[in-house]
Chain A
């Protein structure tokens, strides 16, 4: 495709521009990519969609023709736009978000201090319609411990359709064993091994199996969570539409911390009950439990000005200002006012918060 000067253009409706303080991002929701663009281009897309390129040049008194051509070459190359005689037939995408289950995802933490039965917890989660569960082990484990868990989900034909494991490295988790486990259980969506000696990503054997990550990151407990990093961005229609209205990490999430406490997230201090004695279903239906679900990126300081705000999956547990629920995530080293990434841990301004969370 080349620029067609005779036809109006429209944006491909699942490529959505998001304006930031100093630059913007086009979120390509079906190819799962982000392309950064200047705010000038954002404004052109916002104000002049449906017009011909010539008309657009004229509205800037033809003073910026060359740069407008550059912009449109870029848009054509990336396949972000369409030239058509009938722009009115290409509407904006409806950004609705709907979800039948109250809970879509859950974290279950297990440490040497855990005394609850993970299988019972999974059955409870299954009852409330949870579809995706991540189990994080903060003590060593082995295939013999994991197998019955997944096997049980198969036996009851659980509506939990994916299970992710995060485990510390141990001899039992050599590549062959893990690959074999994933081949046997398509329900395992991913297997992440930390404290490993290498960093390796092993892609799915075929579209119906999980992927494996070996990471040399040293993880001790839930305080290692909350990382904000482009590799953890999620660029798709579901996340994007959810992020517009809801908190992109905690929405429809329930967590069981390593002591069995029912929380929004294991890293948050507020416990709403304990899995051993309380009814999970009642707890997750309560207004108090769901309160933090409404803290969306547009209400968070700094994040509201960031071009990545609808693809970043936030963290409400570790905040730059622990007293302010609407402050920026502690572990975000990005500054949308300068467009720079700094390693958050090295920033001395974050020390007070780190001490508060006992991270030093």
Chain B
């Protein structure tokens, strides 16, 4: 049975450096989509400064 590697010499050059990531079953099980939240935006939804200042790390 031919594998991907067998095909590489006749695939486009970009296949020379494909990245393989295993399926992350654990992560999928926990992901819940919430409307208006749950995006892959550049910054998280924490407010950009402390709202109150009682607990310091």
Contacts and interface: CB of A to CB of B under 8 A. Distances in A.
A194 interface: yes
B48 interface: yes
Residue of B27, B30, B50, B55 with most chain A CB atoms under a 10 A cut-off: B55
Given A226-B53, A253-B51, 14 more contacts: A107-B51, A132-B47, A132-B51, A136-B52, A194-B55, A201-B57, A205-B30, A207-B44, A215-B55, A227-B54, A228-B53, A229-B53, A231-B57, A248-B49
A184 B56 contact: no
Nearest to B35: A157
A192 B37 contact: no
Contact of B57 (A106, A213, A228, A238): A213
Nearest to B36: A157
A225 B40 contact: no
26 contacts: A133-B51, A134-B51, A134-B52, A154-B34, A166-B52, A166-B54, A183-B30, A186-B37, A189-B47, A190-B46, A192-B55, A194-B54, A199-B57, A204-B44, A207-B44, A208-B37, A208-B39, A208-B40, A219-B55, A225-B52, A227-B54, A228-B53, A229-B53, A234-B49, A234-B50, A315-B53
A213 B55 contact: yes
A249 B52 CA distance: 8
Contacts of A227: 53-56
B10 interface: no
B13 interface: no
Interface in B1-57: 27, 30, 32, 34-40, 44-57
Contacts of B55: 166, 192, 194, 213, 215, 217, 219, 227
A236 B34 contact: no
A225 B53 contact: yes
A44 interface: no
Interface in A123-165: 131-134, 136, 154, 157-159, 161-162, 164
Contacts of B53: 225-229, 232, 249, 313, 315
B52 to A, nearest CB: 5
A290 B20 CA distance: 55
Nearest to B33: A186
A313 B49 contact: yes
A192 B52 CA distance: 12
A275 to B, nearest CB: 18
B30 to A, nearest CB: 5
Interface in A205-226: 205-208, 210, 213, 215, 217, 219, 224-226
Contacts of B38: 186, 208
A104 B57 CA distance: 24
A224 B54 contact: yes
Contact of A104 (B36, B40, B47, B50): B47
Contacts of B47: 104-105, 131-132, 162, 164, 189
B56 to A, nearest CB: 4
A264 to B, nearest CB: 12
Contacts of B32: 183-184, 186
A117 B34 CA distance: 25
B25 to A, nearest CB: 15
